[in-house]
Amino acid sequence: VFDEERLFDSGPLAGPYNLNGVRIGTPICEDAWHEDVSEALAESGAEILVVPNGSPYYRNKFDRRLSAMVARVVENDMPLVYLNMVGGQDDQVFDGGSFVLNRGGRLAMQMPLFDEAIAHVEFVRGDSGWEAVEGEKIAHVDEWEQDYRVMTQGLTDYMAKTG
């Protein structure tokens, strides 16, 4: 997994795009773990970062994700929406746990681990820029329950997809 460099060359960094008057920066997956990509998007006018991700589970991975994304928010002084996929795919299990951070790294919304979920995220523009309205913060189960869920979801999805 994560062998993209064997098959693809990096292209030029795309700047933010405009969506209904909001400039969105989209560091994709691992790009968000490195400060330079988010910094370049901020310098080119991004107002909100939206991070689509396929980050597989391992114990305490959510804490690492959250810490890395808080760093991006603090470094660039803008909110961030982190979207992680859910489900088993080949030899990886993706645990979801999407979240929204406001300036200063404050958690505005947290989605469940291992379950698909849809939520509406509302942003309001204030004097200092955009901020997400506080939403539901679903508590995550303990690490033993997470380990159990990753094993059952991995097996269930593998069997469903391979017949």
85, 113 in Cβ contact below 8 A? no
Contacts of 102 (CB under 8 A, 6+ apart): 73, 79, 108, 131, 132
Q: Which amino acid is at 47?
A: E
Q: Which amino acid is at 32?
A: A
Q: Looking up tokens 């808080």, which residue turns up?
A: 70
Q: Is the pLDDT of residue 2 over 80?
A: no
55: domain CATH number is 3.60.110.10
Residue 77 burial class via C-beta count within 10 angstroms: exposed 0-12, middle 13-18, buried 19 and up: exposed
pLDDT of residue 72: 97
107, 101 in Cβ contact below 8 A? yes
119, 135 in Cβ contact below 8 A? yes
Q: Is the pLDDT of residue 103 over 90?
A: yes
The predicted model gives 122-129 an average pLDDT of: 95
99, 109 in Cβ contact below 8 A? yes
Token pair for 139: 């508590």
Residue 87, domain extent: 4-162
pLDDT of residue 8: 73
75, 49 in Cβ contact below 8 A? no
The closest alpha carbon to 25, from 47, 3, 58, belongs to: 47
Give the predicted TM-score (pTM) of the model.
Answer: 0.91
In the 8-state DSSP scheme, what is residue 116? Answer: -
**Domain tally for the chain?**
1
Token pair for 141: 């189960």
Dihedral sign of CA atoms 147, 148, 151, 154 in order: negative
Tens-digit pLDDT profile for residues 39-61: 999 999 999 999 999 999 999 99
The predicted model gives 92-112 an average pLDDT of: 97
